[in-house]
Structure 1
Amino acid sequence: MTMTTMSAESGFELGLSADDALPLFTAQGERRWVPGWEPEMVGDGGPGSAFVTRMNGTETSWVVIDYDVARGIARYARWVAGVQAGLVEVRCAPLAADRCAVRVRYALTPLSPESVAAVAGFLEPDRFAGSIAGWKRLIVEAGLAAD
């Protein structure tokens, strides 16, 4: 395997307007539904600001690239030193006044030969789809949206 950029995309529908859903996919918004999510913020949360997360023994640095409610898009660059770098994009598109489609895309580049298999495994289509479906489950269980 070579160290090339790999990507995966998946999504779900959520019983929430697109305008109300998008803030759930920010550093602060994910505190409401991701267990153990405690980002350390640098900046105001807008484009160019940064945050660091530590989960499952992994420190990840994030930079907000774009956050646009009108377009329903949040984009982040992420970096795990020596392991991977890439982009995460979340799009929320209205389906009805109280329902939206959420699409999540990860594009990751392994930074070492040892991390190629881990990145490929994370982005394996069925595994990735299951992980993203878990986002919906957590949001609904937190009482933030209808199924």
Structure 2
Amino acid sequence: MFQALQQHLSGEFTLPLDIDSAYPLFTPAGETLWVPDWQPQYFHPADGHTSAGMVFSTGHGGESTLWTLADYDPVAYRYRYVRVTPGSRFVQVQVSCQPVDAANTRVCVSYTLTGLSEDGNAAIRDFAAGYQAMLAEWRSLILAWREQSRHGQ
């Protein structure tokens, strides 16, 4: 009998960006700036405008994932996405940004993952093993994008 694995992961990193520059990087459109191969397909709204309840899909590694922006609080600099990879896993992703000072932002990221199959449980174990490295990569990708945009490339 299948038993769903559920795992909660969290971590943080600091970016040398003011909060109003850092926060938009974690919208679906913002992530297209720094995430390789991130190409969301927007269902609602069709133009991809960031809003609570927006629905979009992404594809990666032969999988298709459906997303919604469940909570959107720009005043508190917080997002909560809910996503499902059918037949594999259900995931809640929360990203919140907090100013460290006028020029630096702490980004806190948490994932709660629930397996929907044995393959999903295995994907969760793999994801958990690389979670801290993923956050370090996010920071590196954002810094590389920032450097490129400074030099007009």
Q: Does 1:100 align with 2:105?
A: yes
Percent of residue pairs identical: 33
Higher relative contact order (CA 8 A, sep 6+): 1
Q: CA RMSD in A?
A: 1.8
What is the distance in 2 between the residues matched to 1:60 and 1:132?
20
Paired position in structure 2 for 1:110: 115
Shift of 1:24: 0.3
Shift of 1:107: 0.4
Moved runs in structure 1, 4+ residues, more than 2 A? Answer: none
Structure with larger Rg:
2
Q: Does 1:81 align with 2:86?
A: yes
Structure 2, unmatched stretches of 5+, are none
Q: Does 1:9 align with 2:10?
A: yes
Structure 1, unmatched stretches of 5+, are none
Shift of 1:104: 0.6
Match of residue 143, structure 1, among 142, 146, 150? 146
* 1:89 and 1:104 in contact (8 A); partners too: yes
Q: Secondary structure at the match of 1:114?
A: helix
Shift of 1:121: 2.3
The residue identity in structure 2 corresponding to 1:123 is A
What is the distance in 2 between the residues matched to 1:118 and 1:30?
22
The farther-off stretch of 40-49 and 81-90 is: 40-49
Q: Does 1:68 align with 2:73?
A: yes
C-alpha offsets along residues 45-97 of structure 1, whole Å, 9 cap, x if unaligned? 20111110112222111000122221110110000000000200001000011
Paired position in structure 2 for 1:27: 28
Q: Secondary structure at the match of 2:132?
A: helix
C-alpha offsets along residues 104-126 of structure 1, whole Å, 9 cap, x if unaligned? 101010001232122122123xx
What is the distance in 1 between the residues matched to 2:120 and 2:65?
15
Aligned length, in residue pairs: 144
What is the distance in 1 between the residues matched to 2:53 and 2:74?
16
Q: TM-score, normalised by structure 2?
A: 0.87
Q: TM-score, normalised by structure 1?
A: 0.91
* 1:5 and 1:107 in contact (8 A); partners too: yes
The farther-off stretch of 81-90 and 44-53 is: 44-53
The residue identity in structure 1 corresponding to 2:34 is W
Q: Secondary structure at the match of 2:39?
A: coil
What is the distance in 2 between the residues matched to 1:86 and 1:105?
10
